[in-house]
Amino acid sequence: MWLRGLAPSVGTVISVICAAQVLAVSSATEPEHVSRETRNVAIIGAGAAGASTAYYLRKYAEEHDLAINITVFEKTDRIGGRTLTINPFDINGPSESVELGASIFIKLNAILYNATREFGLETTTREQDGVGGILAFWDGDKIRFDIDGSHSAWRTAARLAWRYGYYALKNSQALMHKTVGKFLNLYEPPYFPFKSLTQRTYELELLEETSLTGEEFLRKNKIPDLLSHEFIQALTRVNYASNLAHIHGLETMVSTAPEGAMSVVGGNWRIFDKMVQASGATLRANTSVAYIDLEKQDSKPPKYILKTQSSSDYGAMEETQDIAFDDVVVATPYQFSKISTAGGLLENTIDEIPYIKLHVTIFSSPFPLSAAYFKVAPPKVPTTVLTTLADGESPLDGVQGAGKAGFYSISTLRLVLNPKTGKIEYLYKIFSPEKVTPEFLSALFGVKVPDSFVGEILQDDADAKAVEPISWYYPHVFHSYPKGFPRITFQDPVIGDGLYYTSGMESFISTMETNALMGKNVARLIVDSLLGVDTEEAAVIEDLGYERGQSVLQEL
């Protein structure tokens, strides 16, 4: 649902007017006997999913006049998880920060978008637009197509149509809208809330999207190979570090939906920070949950005791929390959480799923990208490069998946002032499957980048006046999102009696919004169980009503 670093005109060209109306969630009818005892809920993880769980729990609790006491446990000392910013040259200030993780969401992402409005958070299109200039599609051999941000939308549309065909573009947009339209039903009754994402995938007829690779799905829907391999694959690579043969159709379609992309000034994590604040939760930062235990054997309903480890003490102090929780929400990928549970506590085992290891490297340089490297004449030097495979290259998976290009994308985020030289420089971001090397950077900029400039955050340098090809450098590795292999089942959000899990959403669609939606879903399930409302397990709807998410296509 986002597209990083594209020139504004692309957004316009492939943009659409979405008439999708996300209807208000009608609340369950209140039963007569509602427990007035305080319900203690623990949320493990303060990323998009955990923050949204806390926020909606409070909202629903207020709507139904329920006493809910929320405690959020967060391993690190900040809120946001994979949504975080860094500050180039360590200069503070919200307008200085850049997104290291999740950078963009779209207007259709109603939970995030509404939250920015409710909390008065200013949004910007800067992360998306970068410095404008030329967006190139590079296959490691040559630039196959480019889009010049200074051209009119009309001219760009004409070039796109000439290259890929007017109907091919239009059909791929229509396909994206059909898929997104189906997905949007998940926000509303009778599809919301849900105890089984697998079942909803089936009911919403999204199985074709999730069970086929992007390549198969596009081919089946008669999208021409050139558009798929050159353009759409560049989008799945920048969004999910995957070639079309290794990502399912749903995440493929999500990757092509960029309209109205934005981010929050000062960092998208602010949304989640505000959500936690608004929830009135007790935040236990620097506290990792290590163990979930039953308070008493055989008590019905069960209550849970958490054992935590404080990460601010180097001795890793262990602590047993003295309150018993009625509900526990695991809002982080279980396999990386280092949480264990008492035997038999999980009714559904949480399968380990392969995640992508993504290197994100942000750095500044006084040099533009090298024209020679991209084999173009200087005025045509790209500012943002998306990559695809060269003709005849096999679409591999994992580290080899980047192919000849060796990286997924490079974007010029913006201009920055180097405080050491007083000069304006470029701020770049590279997504790659492996560490960026000095050899690669030397070739990319056409200047010798010494080994010493790579591998650590640069400290103040005695020789500050020399022109450093890389003047500030910040490498980071993420378990960014799951590999989007085709699948037909998804981890359920209910993992035990009063135990919930949000990250099953990630192999369906991994975004801030979808994880926040899963958090909201879990909040609703908890409140419904408190109210004694049995969440409809089987929503049998005759007409699947895609119309709700149906969109009006803008003429190209």
Ligand X SMILES: *[C@@H]1O[C@H](CO)[C@@H](O)[C@H](O)[C@H]1NC(C)=O
Ligand Y SMILES: Cc1cc2nc3c(=O)[nH]c(=O)nc-3n(C[C@H](O)[C@H](O)[C@H](O)COP(=O)(O)OP(=O)(O)OC[C@H]3O[C@@H](n4cnc5c(N)ncnc54)[C@H](O)[C@@H]3O)c2cc1C
Residues in contact with ligand Y by CB under 6 A are 2, 44-50, 73-76, 81-83, 101-105, 288-289, 331-332, 337-339, 358, 360, 478, 480-481, 502-503, 510-513, 515
Check if the beta carbon of residue 330 is closer than 8 Å to that of residue 493: no
As a whole number of angstroms, the distance between CA 242 and CA 239 comes to: 8
Write out the binding residues for ligand X, residues 301-340 only, by CB under 6 A: 312, 323
**Partner whose binding site includes residue 286, from ligand Y, ligand X, none (CB under 5 to 8 Å by kind):** ligand X
Q: Does 187 bind ligand X (CB under 6 A)?
A: yes
CB of 393 to ligand Y, least distance (A): 24
Of 286 and 554, which CB lies nearer to ligand X in the complex structure?
286
Mind giving me the DSSP string for 127-196? HHHTT-SEEEEE-SS-EEEEEETTS-HHHHHHHHHHHH-HHHHHHHHHHHHHHHHHHHGGGSTTTSS-S-
**Partner whose binding site includes residue 152, from ligand X, ligand Y, none (CB under 5 to 8 Å by kind):** none
Of 54 and 168, which CB lies nearer to ligand X in the complex structure?
54
Q: 3-class DSSP state for residue 19?
A: coil
Chosen residue from 30, 63, 77, 122 binding ligand X by CB under 6 A: 77
List residues bridging with 429 in a β-sheet.
362, 411
**Partner whose binding site includes residue 103, from ligand Y, ligand X, none (CB under 5 to 8 Å by kind):** ligand Y
Amino acid identity of residue 420, one-letter, is: K
CB of 4 to ligand X, least distance (A): 24
**Partner whose binding site includes residue 110, from ligand Y, ligand X, none (CB under 5 to 8 Å by kind):** ligand X
CB of 53 to ligand X, least distance (A): 14
**Partner whose binding site includes residue 418, from ligand X, ligand Y, none (CB under 5 to 8 Å by kind):** none
Q: Does 69 bind ligand X (CB under 6 A)?
A: yes
**In what side-by-side order are the strands of the sheet with 143-148?**
143-148, 134-138, 384-387, 409-418, 423-432, 355-365, 472-482
Chosen residue from 124, 282, 394, 400 binding ligand X by CB under 6 A: 282
Chosen residue from 24, 377, 462, 538 binding ligand X by CB under 6 A: 24
CB of 305 to ligand X, least distance (A): 13
Q: Does 285 bind ligand X (CB under 6 A)?
A: yes
Q: Does 26 bind ligand X (CB under 6 A)?
A: no
Six-digit token string for 501 = 């899990």
Chosen residue from 40, 201, 228, 388 binding ligand X by CB under 6 A: 40
Of 282 and 320, which CB lies nearer to ligand X in the complex structure?
282
Check if the beta carbon of residue 306 is closer than 8 Å to that of residue 478: no
CB of 519 to ligand Y, least distance (A): 7
Of 70 and 441, which CB lies nearer to ligand X in the complex structure?
70
Mind giving me the DSSP string for 92-127? -STTT-EESS---B-TT-HHHHHHHHHTT--EESHH
List residues bridging with 475 in a β-sheet.
361
DSSP 83: -
Q: Residue 376: how many CA atoms within 13 Å on its side-chain side?
A: 22
**Partner whose binding site includes residue 83, from ligand Y, ligand X, none (CB under 5 to 8 Å by kind):** ligand Y
- Chain-centroid distance, C-alpha 475: 19
CB of 81 to ligand Y, least distance (A): 2
As a whole number of angstroms, the distance between CA 437 and CA 452 comes to: 11
**Partner whose binding site includes residue 447, from ligand Y, ligand X, none (CB under 5 to 8 Å by kind):** none
As a whole number of angstroms, the distance between CA 200 and CA 188 comes to: 12
As a whole number of angstroms, the distance between CA 440 and CA 171 comes to: 38
Check if the beta carbon of residue 295 is closer than 8 Å to that of residue 74: no
Six-digit token string for 57 = 């729990």
**Partner whose binding site includes residue 252, from ligand Y, ligand X, none (CB under 5 to 8 Å by kind):** none
Binding span for ligand X by CB under 6 A among 107-115, 289-297, 443-451, 476-484: 107-115
Binding span for ligand X by CB under 6 A among 89-97, 109-117, 242-250, 340-348: 109-117
| Positions in the binding site for ligand X (CB under 6 A) | 22, 24, 38, 40, 69, 71, 77, 110-111, 114, 187, 282, 285-286, 312, 323
